[in-house]
Structures are given as structure tokens and as C-alpha cells.
A and B are shown apart, each in its own frame.
Chain A
Amino acid sequence: MKILIVEDEKPLAESMAAYFSETDYLCELAPDYESASEKIALHEYDCILLDITLPGGNGLKLLQELKSYRKNAGVIIVSAKNSIDDKIKGLDIGADDYLPKPFHLAELGARVNALIRRKKFEGETFLYIGNMQLDVAGKSVTILNKKLDLTKSEFDLLLFLISNKNKVVSKNAIGEHLSGDEADRFDNFDFVYSHIKNLKKKMTEAGSADYIKTIYGLGYKFER
């Protein structure tokens, strides 16, 4: 699976690439408009992470170019300008998602995963982990043919952890992911702890292995 990271801030682009490199994704970097434009024309990507303010041009124009080639790459706009105008414009031209800076890499990972699932495996929305089966569209989990009784938050939490599997995900990243647009309202995400506790309990009681590890001081990790 190929991802193009169009981002002029090299340290950030490298972090993003490094985060994905340990997974099945292959990342390419484009630090400016020209190289991004060239890469988009020549190669096929599953997902493009697009910064809007680029040296040499506007990311939205790149998006228009991409659409003119009728390529089927998913596009996530990653922008420091968290302006509603840019967001609406970007989504209008055909971006699939919009992620304002600063963001958690875990959040980016979850968005990329979700986008690729939507684009690549149309209809095929089941994930299998050990004896566990996740129906992403139906938002349900089955362990040993028995449906798990999860709340929406618990399901979202599990999917988020699986999307970032084998990675340490911070409590803040989980908290912000679960509260979505409401994230800015909260001072702390202490509620994450009780969600994790409940989820672990439900999973192990149903007969699943205890995949979710607590990493002291940092967060949690879905280990497999």
C-alpha cells in the first residue's frame, strides 16, 4: 500500500513516514508543489496526505490536478490553517478527510486506515484478529461466535487501537479520538481509563487474549 506525504516541514513528514513504515505501508515524501505534482502524475497511491500551504503552490490545486487524472487515491488534507473555509473547499474538490495540525500520529493512522478500508475493500469491512471478528460497518465485535456487548465508545476505542496496532497510543490521542469534535472541551481524558478497563474485561471474559497492554505513564498498546 502506497502513501504520498506532501508536506514541506521535513521533520513532520519524516515522523509521519516513520510511523507508517513499521506497518504494511510504503511512504514517499514530496516536500514541495512541483515534486508532488510530478509524483501524482506518474505514480499510483492509495492515500495522499496533503498539506495546503506548500512552497511553490497551493495544496488545493494539487488536489484539483489529482482529480483531473481521475486517479482513485484517497486524500487527507493535513493543514495548520484550521479554517472552516479551507475545510469546506477541500472536501468540495474531493478530499476525503481533513485533519488540522497539530494532530496525533495515532489519529492520522486511524484516519488513513479507515480511508483505505473504504477505498480498497469496498463492502469488505471485517477485520480478523485471533478469535475476534470486527464488523467495522456494523460496529460490532464477535468473539468465538458470540457477539460482544460493547458501547459505541468501547467499539471506537478498540478500532482505534487496532488501527494503530503494536504502537503505543497516548491517553490524549484516545481521548481526543473518542470525543471527536468535542475534544477541545475537556481538560483531561481520565475517562479513557475506565473505557479501557471495561473493554479489556469484556474481551477477556468472552475468551479473547488480553491484547491491550497498559504502558506506564504513556498510554496503551494493542499488541499482537
Chain B
Amino acid sequence: MRLLSRTLLNLSVYSVIILILVTPVFYRIINRIIWDEVDENLFLQKNEIQIRINRLKPDTDLLGWQSLDSNIKIEPISTTFFRDSLFTHQQYNSVTGETEPYRVLITSVIFQNKPYLLTARVSLLEQEDLIKALAVTQSIALVLLLAGMLVINWRNSSALWKPFYKTLDSLQKFELEKAKPLSFTQSKIKEFNDLNKAIAQLTARDHQVYRNQKEFTENASHEIQTPLAIVQSKMEMLMQTNLTKEQAGLMEEMMIALARLSRLNKGLLLLIKIDSLPFLEREKVNLKEFLEKLILVYQAEANQKTISFQVSLQHQEIFFNPLLLDILFSNLLSNAIRHTSPGNIISIFSSLQQITISNPGEALPFDPEKIFNRFQKGSSKSGAGIGLAIVKRIAETTGIFVQYEFYNHTHFFSIFFEKNRLSH
């Protein structure tokens, strides 16, 4: 859950609870007030009537008066000891011709020392409408208030947390190999500034360490070239002398090891260069033609080992740096040749976005996850242990996806190109 949603959720839950609780309470209170008002009015009316009939002449027909107002009824009663009663009742309204709820007060008045029963009533229809109107208005106001609060809070929080999300975003995009150390714009909030400062320092340090390490590897690899050249030249000079068979055998072993060392060193240099060389310009490459040519290059080596290629390629064009593409597939192909026993078949096939190179063999003696690691070697075969690391590095810098699988006693290396690199 996002930070912003979390804070807003609390607020929303509170608002909804308040809304649910307050609306009926409010309705009840309004109801109460209005009913009290109605009851009070009824009693006032009774008092008013009492005062008025006291002023009437003794011979006035009291009962005749009541026909003037359908809401007042006066009838003679025998007892003066009468308790007032107040109730709500559905009654017929002669004006509207409908049955309506009425608040009815039954009480007594005294006229000429004789008790009369007074029934006064008030239609509650208008009052109910009023209550409803009041309740609705109030509820709308409450909803608007809470909604407004939420929106304002959300906008405020968004603005407040913006630097945080910006920092988070740049951290997610941060790549040690590529980018410069992170730098941030100043925020008004101290905590964010502190966070940014800490992150900037951390990434700068990481970057420096990475660069130092890279520089070290690069320098070391370059420095190794010269002694290698000296040893190589001295061995070639030694070769020109009269060597015994035994010495020649020793020389051969040394030359093989030396060749391996210089290949390894070149591989290391290449691995470093992949991120630093500005050779990432893309070109349109016809992948089918490209691979067919590359396979031809390896044909002689494969023939030597009596390995054959089974090629099934679809027409594909991709935008890619040709040099990187060459290094990528060369390493995969030579890896396949190296680890295929004589007499077997290496198959290279492509489908829409994918190229797979597979060769039969035994399961890896190590964790397949580690196959793209540097110097992860399964057998005593002569590889330098760096080819697949180079493949992985190229994949990482160019955004393609490389995958290793093993089933049916076959190793599968697949390269997946993004759609936007392809054009059919």
C-alpha cells in the first residue's frame, strides 16, 4: 500500500464513521426540536383559546365556533379532573382530502365554569418535510466537508511527499555501471534533504568504488599485456634453438597456457570495455544473414570436432550494435562447440523474438543460476570462464534478455529481443 493511500485511508475511515453516526443522531435531534416546538405550540394554542373564551359573552355558542377551524374541536364533558394527553395520529384532513399524520392535544378548557374537552391538532406533514430538508441539507454539507477535507489532504500530502517519490524514482533507475552519482534538488523539508544527502553520498561512494575497481582491472589487464608479450617473444626465440623432444613437449604446454592467459586477459578487457566504450550505436542488422555468416566462421572448428550445425532461422531484422551482436553470438557459439562432444549436433533456431542455441550434454555440475558468472567452469575444458559473463554483460547493457535452460540432456541458451528492436 502506498504511503499516501495509507494516510488517506485512516482519514477516510474516520470520515465515513462520523458520517454514519452523525446523520441519524442529527436527524433525531432535529426531530426532537421540531416536535417539542409543535407540542409547545399546541399548549400555547390551548392557553390562547382559554384566554379568548374567557372574554366571550356568556351566551356565546362555543360549540358553533369550532366549525371555523377543522383543527379545533370543543365538546362538553362532565368531569373537570382531566389529564391532558398528547399523541400522534393519522387523521383525515378535510382541506387536502387525505389522511395525514397529526399531533393531537386533548385537554380541557373552562367556559362559564363548565369544563369542555378541547382537541387541538397540527398536521405534521410540513414539519416532516422540514425535517427531511434539514437532514438532507446537513448531510450534503457534511459529505462535502469530509470529501473536501480528504481531497485537500490528499493534494497536500502529494505535494509534501513529491520529493520522496522523486528520490525513490531516481534510486530505482540508478545503475552503478552507467549513471553518474545521484544528485537531488533541494526540498523544503529537512528530513527529505537529509535523506537525499545520505543517498547522494552513498551512491557517490558506490560509484567511486565501482570506478576504482574497473580502473584497477583495466590497468592490471593492460599492464599484463607487456610481460605477456615479453614471455611470448622469449618463447619464440627459444623455439628457434635446437630443442630436444622433451623440451619441445614442455614448450608446447607452456605455449598453450600462455595462449590461454592472453585470451583470458583480452576477455577481461572486453568485459570492462562493454560498458565504457561508446560503441552502442545501433544499426539495422539482418539477423538471419548475420548468423549464417557467423556460423560459417565456426564451421572449420566444428568440422575439426566432427560437430555439425542444424540451422533453422527466420527472417529477422533488429536494431543492434553489430560489434556487440558479434561478440554475443560468438561467445554462445564457441561455448556450444566447446561443450559438445564429437559427433553431436548444435542447433540454432529462431522464432519471432527469440534465438536459441542448443547443444546436447550432461547437466551442469554446479547451480545453473551461476552459469553466467565469471570463472564458473564445469569441467577442465579449455574455456577461460569469461565468455558467458560477457554475454550476460551485453544483455544487461543493451536490455535484451538471455536465458539458460537444461532438459532432455540438452543445454538451451535463448536470447530474447525486445519488440521495439525488431522489424519484420
Contact = CB atoms under 8 A, between A and B. Distances in A.
Interface of A: 9, 11-12, 15-16, 18-19, 22, 80-82, 84, 100-106, 167-168, 170, 172-173, 182, 184-188, 190-191, 194, 215-219
User: A-B pairs with the 5 shortest C-beta distances?
Assistant: A15-B233, A217-B248, A102-B229, A80-B225, A101-B229
B304 A80 contact: no
B51 interface: no
B228 interface: yes
A15 B237 CA distance: 7
Contacts of B226: 9, 12, 80, 101-102
Contacts of B248: 215-218
Contact of A191 (B225, B228, B301): B301
Interface string B240-260: 100101001101100100010
A15 B236 contact: yes
Interface of B: 222-223, 225-226, 228-234, 236-237, 239-240, 243, 245, 248-249, 251-252, 255, 259, 262-263, 266, 269, 277, 279, 297-298, 300-301, 303-304, 330, 334, 337-338, 382-383
Nearest to A82: B269
A82 to B, nearest CB: 7
Nearest to A187: B382
A182 B232 contact: no
A84 B245 CA distance: 41
Contact of B297 (A167, A185, A218): A185
Nearest to B241: A168
B239 A80 contact: no
Contacts of A11: 230, 233-234
Nearest to B338: A187
B379 to A, nearest CB: 13
10 contacts: A9-B230, A19-B233, A100-B225, A185-B298, A185-B330, A187-B301, A188-B382, A190-B304, A191-B304, A218-B251
B228 A102 contact: yes
Contact of B232 (A9, A84, A102, A167): A102
B230 A15 contact: yes
A173 B239 CA distance: 12
A104 B236 contact: yes
Q: In terms of DSSP, what is the predominant structure of the interface of chain A?
A: mixed
Nearest to A178: B300
Contact of A172 (B259, B298, B382): B259
A102 B297 contact: no
A187 B222 CA distance: 22
A84 B228 contact: no
A186 B230 contact: no
Contacts of B222: 80-81
Given A187-B338, A187-B383, A218-B251, A12 B236 contact: no
Nearest to B383: A187
Given A15-B230, A187-B334, A188-B382, A105 B225 contact: no
B255 A170 contact: yes
Given A187-B334, A190-B304, A219 B239 contact: yes
Contacts of A194: 304
A217 B249 contact: yes
Contacts of A82: 225, 266, 269
A218 B243 contact: yes
B232 A103 contact: yes
A168 B262 contact: no
A146 B230 CA distance: 43
A19 B230 CA distance: 13
A19 B237 contact: yes
A182 B262 contact: no
Contact of B225 (A101, A170, A173, A217): A101
Contact of B301 (A9, A22, A186): A186
Nearest to A18: B237
Nearest to B294: A185
Contacts of B383: 187
Nearest to B248: A217
Given A82-B269, A186-B334, A170 B239 contact: yes
Most buried by A among B228, B240, B262, B279: B240
Contacts of B233: 11-12, 15-16, 19, 105
